[in-house]
Amino acid sequence: MKTAEEIGRTILERLAAQAAANRAAGDQLRADVRAVVEKHHPKRLTAKEVIKNLTRQPPPSIRRVQEILRDLRAESATFINQPSE
C-alpha cells in the first residue's frame, strides 16, 4: 500500500509531465501560426484565415489563434520600435 507521500509524489510527477506536454503542444501551435502568417506576409490575416491554412485536425479554437496573433503582433511592434544600436 502506498503512503500519502508516495501518492502525492506520483500525482505531482504526472502533472509535471502533462504540463510539459501542454507547453510543447502550445509551442508547436504558435510555430504553425507564425509560419502561416509569415507565408502570407504582408497581408494581415484574421484568425479564421489562419485556421483555414492550418493542417491540424481538429483545428485549434479561434480564441487561441486570436491570442497567438495578438502576441505575435505585439512582439513584432516591440521589435520594430526598438532603437537600433
Residue ranges per structural domain of the chain: 4-80
Q: pLDDT band for 47, please (50, 70, 90 cuts).
A: very high
DSSP 63: H
C-alpha cell at 34: 507564425
C-alpha cell at 82: 526598438
Q: Is the peptide bond before 59 cis (omega within 30 degrees of 0)?
A: no
Alpha-carbon gap, residue 6 to 54, rounded angstroms: 42
Residue 4's identity, in one-letter code, is A
Provide the whole-model pTM: 0.77
Question: Taking 90 as the threshold, does the pLDDT of residue 80 lie above it?
Answer: no
Tell me how long the chain is.
85
| Percent of all residues in the chain with a pLDDT value above 70, rounded to a whole number | 91
CA pair distance 9, 28, nearest whole angstrom: 29
